C-alpha cells in the first residue's frame, strides 16, 4: 500500500575535489513509498533547484541495478542496508516516516570526490586496462561446444562476472581495499579457457595497478561481500591470492627477440 513519508536527509555537499565539504540537512516531504531512492533524490533536487541552489550531484544511469553507475553510502552502508540491492533499486518502502537518512560518497583516496556524492572511479577502469581482458580473435563465431567448459566452472565464472564495478566493496571495506573487485575480474576470466593465455600477467598487472591506485589491503573482514549488490563471494579473493602467488613464482621474464 502506498504511503507518504516525511524524511530528513543529512547530505554530504562538496563543490569540487578541493572543497573540504560538509553535511547539510534537507527536508524530504510527502515522499511516496513507491518511489525508488534515486526518484526521492530527484524530488528533493527539484525543490533545491526551485530555490535557486545547486542540486545534489549523484551518479546514475540504468536505474535498474545493472550498470553499476549509482552508488552512495546510505546510513553508513554502501547502497543502503538492504542486501544485494543497488541504490537505484532501493525503494522508499524500506524507510519509515520521520527517518533521518545520512548520505555520503564512497570514501577512498582511489575514488576522489568530484562533487557531492559523485566520485571518480576511473581507477577501476585503469585496473581493467592493466589486465582485465582476453586477446581472442573476434572473427566468425566458433561452433558450439568446440571449447569444452565444465558446468561448475561456467557457473563460477558467471557468478564472478556478475560484478558491475560499482565500487561498493571498496566503500564498505574498512581498509578501502579493491580486492573483491579485482578478485571477481581475475576469477571470471581465469575460470574459462579463453582466459588462460594471459592468466599469469593478468594477476600480476592488475594487482600492481590496484596497488598503484592507492587502494588498501585485504584484512579478510568480509564487509565487501556483505555489501555487494551482486553477492560476489570472498572465494574470488582467495582465488586472486592463489593466482597472484602462483604468477609471482612462475612468470617468465621477457626476453629479447631470438631468446628461448
Partner 1 sequence: MKREASFLNSSIGMKVIMAITGIMLVGFVVGHMAGNLQIYLPAHDGVRPLDDYAVFLRTMLHGGGIWIARGGLIVATALHVWAAVRLTKMNRDARPVAYHAPVYKASTLASRTMRVSGAILAIFVVFHILHFTVGKFTPFEEGKVYQNVVTGFQVPWVSGFYILAMLCLASHLRHGIWSLMQTLGFNHPRYNDLRLKLATAITALVVLVNISFPLAVLFGYVKLS
User: Which residues in this chain contact ligand FES in the complex, by CB under 6 A?
Assistant: 60-63, 65-70, 86, 88
**Residue 251, binding choice from ligand HEM, ligand FES, partner 1, none, Cβ under 5 to 8 Å by partner class:** partner 1
- Closer residue to partner 1, CB minimum distance, 163 or 172: 172
Site for ligand HEM in 210-229 (CB under 6 A): 217, 219
Site for partner 1 in 101-160 (CB under 8 A): 102, 104, 107-110
Task: Return the SS3 of 123.
Answer: helix
245 is an interface residue for ligand HEM by CB under 6 A:
no
Identify the DSSP state of 81. S
Q: Please report, for residues 9, 88, 246, the alpha-carbon distance to residue 13 in angstroms, rounded to integers and kept in the order given.
A: 12, 20, 45
Phi-psi bin for 91: left (phi > 0), alpha (psi -120 to 50), beta? Answer: beta
Which of 87, 157, 207, 232 contacts partner 1 by CB under 8 A?
207
Q: For residue 221, give every residue at least 6 positions away whose Cβ sits within 8 Å of its Cβ, in sequence order, or none.
A: 173, 174, 175
Cβ 36 to ligand FES, closest distance in Å? 9
- Closer residue to partner 1, CB minimum distance, 35 or 166: 166
Identify the DSSP state of 258. T
187 is an interface residue for partner 1 by CB under 8 A:
no
Cα 59 to chain centroid, rounded: 12
Please, which residues bridge with residue 8 across strands?
Answer: 27, 100
174 is an interface residue for ligand HEM by CB under 6 A:
no
205 is an interface residue for partner 1 by CB under 8 A:
yes
- Binding residues for partner 1, per CB under 8 A? 10, 23, 73, 75-77, 81, 102, 104, 107-110, 174-177, 204-205, 207-208, 210-211, 214-223, 225-227, 234-235, 237-242, 244-245, 248, 251, 253
- Binding residues for ligand HEM, per CB under 6 A? 217, 219
Amino acid at each position: 500500500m502506498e504511503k507518504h513519508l516525511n524524511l530528513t536527509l543529512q547530505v554530504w555537499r562538496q563543490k569540487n575535489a578541493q572543497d573540504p565539504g560538509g553535511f547539510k540537512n534537507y527536508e524530504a516531504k510527502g515522499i511516496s513509498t513507491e518511489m525508488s531512492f534515486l526518484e526521492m533524490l530527484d524530488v528533493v533536487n527539484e525543490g533545491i533547484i526551485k530555490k535557486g541552489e545547486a542540486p545534489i550531484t549523484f551518479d546514475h544511469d540504468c536505474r535498474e541495478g545493472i550498470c553499476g553507475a549509482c552508488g552512495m553510502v546510505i546510513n553508513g552502508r554502501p547502497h543502503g542496508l538492504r542486501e544485494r540491492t543497488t541504490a537505484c533499486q532501493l525503494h522508499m518502502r524500506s524507510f519509515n516516516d520521520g527517518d533521518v537518512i545520512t548520505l555520503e560518497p564512497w570514501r577512498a583516496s582511489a575514488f576522489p570526490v568530484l562533487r557531492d556524492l559523485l566520485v571518480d572511479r576511473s581507477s577501476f577502469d585503469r585496473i581493467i586496462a592493466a589486465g582485465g581482458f582476453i586477446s581472442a580473435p573476434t572473427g566468425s563465431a566458433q561452433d558450439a561446444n568446440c571449447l569444452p567448459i565444465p558446468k561448475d566452472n561456467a557457473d563460477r565464472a558467471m557468478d564472478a562476472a556478475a560484478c558491475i564495478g560499482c565500487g561498493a566493496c571498496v566503500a564498505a571495506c574498512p581498509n578501502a581495499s579493491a580486492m573483491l573487485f579485482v578478485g571477481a575480474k581475475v576469477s571470471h576470466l581465469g575460470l574459462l579457457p579463453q582466459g588462460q593465455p594471459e592468466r599469469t600477467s593478468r594477476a600480476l598487472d592488475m594487482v600492481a595497478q590496484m596497488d598503484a591506485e592507492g587502494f588498501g589491503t585485504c584484512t579478510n573482514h568480509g564487509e565487501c561481500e556483505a555489501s555487494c549488490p551482486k553477492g560476489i563471494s570472498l572465494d574470488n579473493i582467495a582465488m586472486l591470492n592463489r593466482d597472484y602467488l602462483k604468477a609471482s613464482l612462475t612468470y617468465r621474464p621477457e626476453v629479447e627477440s631470438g631468446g628461448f
